Amino acid sequence: MRDRTLKTVRNPRLTFLVVAAAVFGGTVAAHAYTGEQFARDAKVGMAEARSIALRAHPGKIIDAELEKESGGSGLRYSFDIRQGKLTQEVGVDAQTGKVLENAAEGPNPD
């Protein structure tokens, strides 16, 4: 009988490329957002604003933007946070870190 066990192929170069793509590709995607041109005017950074938004409404951030909008200081982060079948919009003031909005957007299409 033949031994039909699967053998692990080890290719350090391939492993390195896969890990590097996951780390650096994920980093780029995590930092890219609409409105980056306003970031220099914000006192609260994106990472801190994300943390504030997720404390206000736990879930998975599916969209993020920094925008000029009335209310608060006039500069806010806006996050769409998915939890189950619902999406919540959470707005965080980019100068103070105060939650300006925390409202349901409606059911997610499946």
38 versus 22: the higher-pLDDT residue is 38
CB contact set of 90 (below 8 Å; sequence gap of 6+): 53, 56, 57, 78, 79, 81, 99, 101, 102
Is 7 part of a structural domain of the chain? no
Is 3 part of a structural domain of the chain? no
Is 59 part of a structural domain of the chain? yes
Reply yes or no on whether the pLDDT at 15 is more than 80.
no
**Band (108; pLDDT cuts 50, 70, 90):** low
Which structural domain, as residue segments, surrounds residue 87?
12-107
CB contact set of 68 (below 8 Å; sequence gap of 6+): 38, 74, 75
Supply the DSSP symbol for 108.
Answer: P
Total count of domains within the chain: 1
Give the pTM: 0.67
* CATH assignment of the domain containing 77: 3.10.450.40
